[in-house]
Structure 1
Amino acid sequence: MDILICDDEPLAVERLSRMVTQLGHQVVATAQHGIEAIDYVQQYEPDVVLLDIKMPEMDGLICAQHLSALNPMPAVVFCTAYDEHALTAIQSQAKGYLLKPIAKAELQEVLDNLTKLTQAQVSQLEQKENMEKQAQRQQIAAKTYRGIELIPIENIYYFLADQKYVTVRHKNGSVLIDETLKDLEQEFANKFIRIHRNALISLDYLDGLELVASGQYQVRCRELEEKLAVSRRHLPMLRERMQNF
């Protein structure tokens, strides 16, 4: 399997890399913190991420939340010296939890179990669990020329789909993400509403509905000059939600 190692301790990375190679797997990349790991996962698409928990910039638990939104998503195995995070790690749907110093036999057992699942199967299982638990992220991760940008959900005005990408319009501009509007709608159903087959708008920034021509409507978005079209199909639900403001 292709494996990414994320740990801010060089000696730990070196030791893990050696064991992974000895067990017949390939280390495709190493990262020093969570933000770097997200970037490398999107670039190399590893089957497994061996993830430390306490790291600078972004810790492993938050990183795992963002990794769970990727498609395909890698299997996450936490590797840490702190056993008090075990419950949180299990709740994050991690596929394994190894305490440092990690024994080669323990690592082999975890990797052998993961080898039995194909990357596609792991992705499908994780997505199903995410939908069932309806766990909401607090930020959206977007890969830009500056690296990985984290956009707080409360700063997002709307999502606009365009072919295979979705534009995220937020307080500091806009970015593209490789996620589907359907998945975003399911995850943030309490914060965003669909107004068109290609658009979700934040309920926090929805400023009003206006008739423009021949029965066509558009919505105003607080703090923005641009307006978004509302389809007739989604107009009744939008009106109902607005009445409950």
Structure 2
Amino acid sequence: MLDVLIVDDEPLARARLVRMIDQLSDYQVSAEATDGEQALAAVVQHDPDIVLLDIHMPGEDGLQAAQAISELDAPPAIIFCTAFSEHALDAFATSAVGYLLKPVRLEQLEAALAKVTQLNKMQRAAARGTTSRTSITAKTHRGIERIALNDIRYFLADQKYVTVYHTGGQHLLDTTLKELENEFGDQLLRVHRNALVSVPHIQALERCPDGGLQVRLADTDIAPSVSRRHASDVKALLQQL
């Protein structure tokens, strides 16, 4: 089940998209927003797979919002839903994967969503990188320290910083989750927009008291949160282990 964020300042337009998505078994609406600023906040909070985004909205318009969203680590796919065809070139310049003209028809929406689903599978396959490196380096008060990949449990991004948590403690890194994922894709798994975990040390996917999901890792009491967007990847991996 893929989560969809609907962004449109017109309540009737949002309601129409909600009704159509309710007719599709593989998708669900996780949140709604009425402008670009709310859209960015909703992406950060809900980590949707797909954003259905209007262009003409008060304040920050859809093109500006799409640019900001695309700069996030592991951004969702963006499909523009607009009444204006003249923005198509600008829209695709923001890395959008679809452009639907209002009034959106169900078969058009379903086709655009299916394209995103296929792209997600291809991107995940391409992200399973390989590397000969068996460690990473971190700058500490003692200088440059080497951390063995086998000692690493997970990486957590917080705004501009990435922290590596390992058996010897934790350190800030001068890198991004995307760079780590590209290099160590066969050894790391993204479980949240802001978290990568070590595949060999995944033990279980557990339900939290608040109803959310978390992944239990070997040799640590900290269980990183798993977003609904990435839960299926964790389940599939556990079935293979």
- Normalised by the length of structure 2, the TM-score is 0.52
Are 2:118 and 1:116 aligned? Answer: yes
> 1:6, 1:52 within 8 Å by CA — same for their partners in 2?
yes
CA contact (8 A) 1:67 1:73 kept: yes
In structure 2, do the counterparts of structure 1 residues 164 and 110 end up closer, same or farther at CA, with 3 Å as the change threshold? closer
Report the CA distance between 1:112 and its aligned residue.
1.0
The separation in 2 between residues aligned to 1:38 and 1:58, in whole angstroms, is 10
How far apart in 2 are the matches of 1:13 and 1:167? 33
Q: What is the aligned counterpart of 1:65 among 67, 78, 87?
A: 67
Q: Which residue matches 2:82? A: 80
**Max Rg structure:** 1
Which residue does 2:46 correspond to in 1? 44
- Per the alignment, residue 144 of structure 1 pairs with none
Q: Distance in 2 between matches of 1:119 and 1:48?
A: 14
Counterpart residue number, 2:18 = 17
Question: How many angstroms apart in 2 are the aligned matches of 1:20 and 1:164?
Answer: 32
Per the TM alignment, residue 14 of structure 1 is displaced from its structure 2 partner at its CA by: 0.1
The answer to whether the 8 Å contact 1:166/1:181 transfers is no
Gap regions ≥5 residues in structure 1: 126-162, 169-179, 187-245
Residues 10, 121 of structure 1: alpha-carbon distance in 2 compared, 3 angstrom cutoff: same
Q: How do residues 217-228 of structure 1 correspond to structure 2 at under 5 angstroms?
A: none
Q: Distance in 1 between matches of 2:74 and 2:160?
A: 20
Post-superposition offset of 1:57: 1.8
Identity %: 46
Given the alignment, which residue of 22, 25, 28 partners 1:26? 28
Q: How many residues are paired up?
A: 137
Distance of 1:10 and 1:119 partners within structure 2: 32
Report whether the alignment pairs 1:165 with 2:166: no
| Cα distance in structure 2, aligned partners of 1:22 and 1:103 | 12
Structure 2: how far apart are the matches of 1:68 and 1:13? Answer: 22
Instruction: Answer yes or no: is the 8 Å Cα contact 1:8–1:33 preserved in 2.
Output: yes
- Superposition deviation, residue 104 in structure 1: 0.7
Contact 1:45 1:72 in 2 (8 A): no
> Residues 16 and 59 of structure 1: is their aligned pair in 2 closer, same or farther, counting only changes over 3 Å?
same
Report runs of 4+ in structure 1 exceeding 3 Å deviation: 163-168, 180-183
CA separation in 1, counterparts of 2:28 and 2:107?
A: 17
Gaps of 5+ in 2: 128-155, 162-172, 180-241
After superposition, the C-alpha distances for 1:130-189 in whole angstroms (9 at most, x for unaligned) are: xxxxxxxxxxxxxxxxxxxxxxxxxxxxxxxxx843569xxxxxxxxxxx8546xx9xxx
- 1:78 counterpart SS class: strand
| Shift in CA distance, 164/101, structure 1 to aligned 2, threshold 3 Å | closer
Aligned to 1:8: 9
1:121: how far off?
2.2
> What is the aligned-residue RMSD (CA, Å)?
2.8
TM-score by length of 1: 0.51
SS of structure 1 residue aligned to 2:6 = strand
Report the CA distance shift for 1:12/1:121 in structure 2 as closer, same or farther (over 3 A).
same
Letter in 2 for 1:49: V
Question: Per-residue deviation at 1:92?
Answer: 1.3
